[in-house]
Amino acid sequence: MLFGVGIVLVGAFVLWMFAAMLFRVVVSTNDVQIVQSSKKTVSYGKGQAAGNTYYKWPAWIPMIGVKTITLPVSVFDINLNGYSGYDKGRVPFEIDIMAFFRIDDSTMAAQRVHSFEEMKEQLIGILQGATRSILAKSDIEEILEERAKFGEMFTDSVREQLKEWGVVNVKNIELMDIRDSEGSKAIENIMAKKKSLIDRESRIAVAENKRAAEEAEIVAKREVALRDQEAQQQVGMRTAEKEKLVGIEIEKAKQQVKIEAKITAEKDMDIKRVNEVKQAEIAKDVKVVQADQDKQVVVINATAAKEQVVIKAAADKEVAITVAEGEKQKTILTAEGHLEEQTKNAQGI
């Protein structure tokens, strides 16, 4: 009995695990899945509070069965191609519009639609209504010329409506193209008028440019001629100035030569004067030396003569003295001889 109950429990557990594996869902990174059960609605996906995994029990299972809506969290685009519209004057045309959206509130979006395809259809309807309302208030030429402005107007017009669907604009809605609808040539005529206007303006511009070019060429030639004359005048003035400066420099050179000649002559005179002075001084010195020599010669001669006289006098004196001495001795001897003789005679010798 107990064994049978255990087998049943094990079988139930294995069945539960298999069912869990079979119905477990991991939400893709670029999606959000809104899961609606009998009691509540929960969003699953990357960045959601409930996480990105849940069990997708079939809706027919009581209590735990759920329904799901898959919506993208990445940017998606809505293209409104070939949409027929009218301008303020009821001129028909076709336009292409591209818009880029992102789901900002997935819970609100899930309450509004049953699928993403249904949401895109609703967004297309919003774009069509805004486009029709705005374009019907403007002229076709204004629409053609100011696409960027109308793109901003489309964007501003749908911003509040998109909030009610949990969607926001990623960038301004773009008016990609505008063209004639079938059977209409309004835009073609406008373009033809624009082309003819451009052609006319181009011709005028070309003619104006040609005229301006010719005038510029004339002005340029005149300026070149004036510049040539000015250049020749400048050359003549510079030549005259050069010749003047050359003449002045030549005269200055001549004057400088004269000055240098004068300086040289003065220097020569100074040298000559110095030489004459030197020669005079030399002659004077020679005379002085000669006179001094003559004086010294006279002095020497006089001294020599004096010395000769003195020597002669001394010699004469010596001679006289010697003679006198001789005479004296002779006299003495004579006297002594007489005396001796007298003595002898006295003695009777």
Give the DSSP letter string of 158-225: HHHHHHTTTEEESS--EEEEEEPPTT--HHHHHHHHHHHHHHHHHHHHHHHHHHHHHHHHHHHHHHHH
Q: How far apart are CA 327 and CA 271, in angstroms?
A: 79
Residues 6 or more apart in contact with residue 151 via CB below 8 angstroms = 172, 173, 174, 175
The reported pLDDT for the residue numbered 252 is 82
Q: Are 135 and 215 in contact (CB under 8 A)?
A: no
pLDDT tens digit sequence for 234-271: 888 878 888 888 888 888 888 888 888 778 877 777 77
The reported pLDDT for the residue numbered 60 is 75
Residue 36 has pLDDT above 80, yes or no: no
User: Any idea how long the chain is?
Assistant: 349
pLDDT tens digit sequence for 265-320: 777 777 777 777 777 777 777 777 777 777 777 777 777 777 777 777 777 777 77
The reported pLDDT for the residue numbered 290 is 77
Q: Are 140 and 87 in contact (CB under 8 A)?
A: yes
The reported pLDDT for the residue numbered 99 is 92
The reported pLDDT for the residue numbered 214 is 81
Which residues of the chain form CATH 3.30.479.30? Answer: 75-182
CATH architecture of the domain 75-182 equals 2-Layer Sandwich (3.30)
331-339: average pLDDT: 70
Q: How far apart are CA 36 and CA 107, in angstroms?
A: 10
The reported pLDDT for the residue numbered 179 is 86
Surface-to-core class of residue 94, CB atoms within 10 Å of its CB (0-12 exposed, 13-18 middle, 19+ buried): middle
Q: Are 124 and 170 in contact (CB under 8 A)?
A: no
Q: Residue 264: enclosing H or E segment and its boundaries?
A: helix 186-347
Which pTM was predicted?
Answer: 0.48
Give the residues across from 101 on adjacent strands: 76, 169
What Å distances lie between residue 168 and 103, 173, 286, 306, CA to CA? 6, 12, 134, 158
Surface-to-core class of residue 143, CB atoms within 10 Å of its CB (0-12 exposed, 13-18 middle, 19+ buried): buried
Q: Identify the DSSP state of 86.
A: E
pLDDT-derived band at 101 (thresholds 50, 70, 90) equals very high
CA 319 to chain centre: 128
The reported pLDDT for the residue numbered 100 is 93
pLDDT-derived band at 148 (thresholds 50, 70, 90) equals confident
The reported pLDDT for the residue numbered 275 is 76
Q: Identify the DSSP state of 43.
A: E
Mean pLDDT of the chain: 79
The reported pLDDT for the residue numbered 143 is 84
What Å distances lie between residue 322 and 44, 209, 328, 334, 336, CA to CA? 182, 156, 9, 17, 20
Residue that is written with structure tokens 């006279």 in the block: 298
The reported pLDDT for the residue numbered 90 is 85
124-133: average pLDDT: 90
The reported pLDDT for the residue numbered 272 is 79
Q: State percent of the chain over pLDDT 90.
A: 4
